[in-house]
Amino acid sequence: MPRPDRKTSLRLMWQKIDADIADHGGWTVSPLYEFPVRFECLPDIVLPKLLRQAGYNVVNVGSAERFLPVSLKAMRARDRSPHAN
């Protein structure tokens, strides 16, 4: 089997990193196939620690505030609550 070229290898690596981030509760926020890969996660997620243990060089660049999507199921449960407005 022929060995993939450098561009293909980098794309496969990016896809693997992206999948690992998503599998552990994070979001890749860098453009597709751009290095370094930037990601975000909630503060209580162990994703940065897991990535470091896997050999990645993870650098904390601070924190930010974001609105996270609310699931339709959570909205419906809230609307049925006796305390709903």
- The β-bridge partners of 39 are 28
CA distance 26 to 19: 10
Least confident window among 8-12, 41-45, 53-57, 81-85: 81-85
Which pTM does this prediction carry?
Answer: 0.69
Per-residue pLDDT band for 40 (boundaries 50, 70, 90) equals: very high
Burial class (CB in 10 A: 0-12, 13-18, 19+), 84: exposed
What is the C-alpha R_g of the chain?
A: 18
Looking at the predicted structure, is the pLDDT value of residue 70 above 70? no
CA distance 2 to 76: 53
